[in-house]
Amino acid sequence: MKRILLLVGTNLAVLLVASIVMSLLGVNTSSMTGLLVFAAIFGFGGAFISLAISKWMAKKTMGCEVITSPRDNTERWLLDTVARQAKQSGIKMPEVAVYQSPEMNAFATGPSKDNALVAVSTGLLYGMSQDEIEGVLAHEVSHVANGDMVTLTLIQGVVNTFVIFAARVVAGIINNFVASNDEEGEGLGMFAYMAVVFVLDMLLGILASIIVAYFSRVREFKADAGAARLAGKNKMIAALERLRQGPESGAMPAQMAAFGINGKRSMAEMLMSHPPLEKRIAALKAS
């Protein structure tokens, strides 16, 4: 559930900053074109800034140690495997990193296909067989090759723009309604208007997160299929089976969690960034 709160919280933080800045600049619903332009600037701006610093954020928040010179045969095999899969996929070699965590997980991030990072936890690196790890690495390389980081950033930008725009249009309608029924015709005060906008940002932001999570689940199936082509269907199925048998993954920051191999179950199924492992295994077996 922590991961879900991080996902929603990150999005709402962007919307909150946009709300404050737009209020200070005096942007309102009187000019729909101006409002839409500002909504797009903040909606896409926040998403692309997050994408641009994604590798740096991953290294800082997860404590990733990028492998430059392999310290042992395991790290050498890890680099060689990612290099082979990257070549098969037609992308530049991603940076490869290891981070300390007992949970079995891995993720890919980065601003482009040719500027990416693939990181694995120590729990996965030393808790899985090489065949299983190869399936996991193929899944993450497929995320990179499919351009999933950019795709989900664009989707996030669209839904953020919708939230920022719609919240202020609805708040303007409410303000006009209050003014029409007020003897003085003043409508909502500044603080009341901002409070209404904030509540609408939160409600619509949750809806936006559901939409982004849906597309994230769709991309997971595609990454699984790509991994089956790169490493073999049996290796990918074995990796997912191993994840299903092992402990649940720990919480990762939202941006990394969206491209992790393992997603935690949640009471709010619509906010899951990953399909249930059972469904992913069934899809691979049926392919």
Report the run of H or E that residue 36 belongs to, with start and end: helix 32-52
- For the segment 70-89, the average pLDDT, to the nearest whole number, is 95
Angle at 160 between CA 258 and CA 253, to 5 degrees: 30
Residue 120 belongs to a domain: no
Which tens digits make up the pLDDT trace of 213-242?
A: 888 888 999 999 999 999 999 999 999 999
In a domain, 61, yes or no: no
Q: What is the mean pLDDT of residues 110-128?
A: 92
- Asked whether residue 225 is domain-assigned, the answer is yes
Total Cβ atoms within 10 A of residue 99? 23
Contact yes or no for 162/42 (Cβ under 8 A): no
215 lies in some domain: yes
187 vs 182: CA distance, rounded Å: 7
Annotated binding site for Zn(2+): 139, 143, 220
Work out the number of other CB atoms within 10 angstroms of the CB of residue 246: 16
Q: What is the pLDDT of residues 99-113, one digit of tens each?
A: 999 989 999 999 999
Q: Are 119 and 107 in contact (CB under 8 A)?
A: yes
Q: Which domain holds residue 244?
A: 1-53+140-287
Q: How many domains does the chain have?
A: 1
Per-residue b/e over 193-227, b at no fewer than 16 CB within 10 Å?
Answer: beebbbebbbebbbebbeebbebbbebbbebbbbb
**β-bridge partners, 107:** 119, 260
pLDDT at 2 over 80: no
Domain assignment of residue 145, yes or no = yes
Q: Which residues are catalytic?
A: 140
Query: How sure is the predictor about 40, in pLDDT bands with cuts at 50, 70 and 90?
Result: confident
Among positive and negative, which fits the CA dihedral 268, 274, 276, 277?
negative
Count of Cβ atoms closer than 10 Å to residue 173 Cβ = 11
Residue 15's CB: how many other CB atoms inside 10 A?
Answer: 25
Q: Are 242 and 104 contacting, i.e. CB atoms less than 8 angstroms apart? A: yes
CA distance 239 to 286: 17
pTM of the complete model:
0.77
More confident residue, 57 or 182: 57
Beta bridge partners, 121, equal: 99
Mean pLDDT within 185-197: 76
266 has pLDDT over 60: no
Higher pLDDT, 80 or 263: 80
Does the structure show a pLDDT above 90 at 89? yes
Q: 198 in a domain, yes or no?
A: yes
Nearest CA to 99 out of 126, 77, 66 is that of: 66
Residue 25 lies in a domain: yes
Report yes or no on 87 lying in a domain: no
Report the pLDDT averaged over residues 142-151: 91
Closest among 146, 122, 137, 117 to 54, alpha carbons compared: 117
Structure tokens at 177: 């309604």
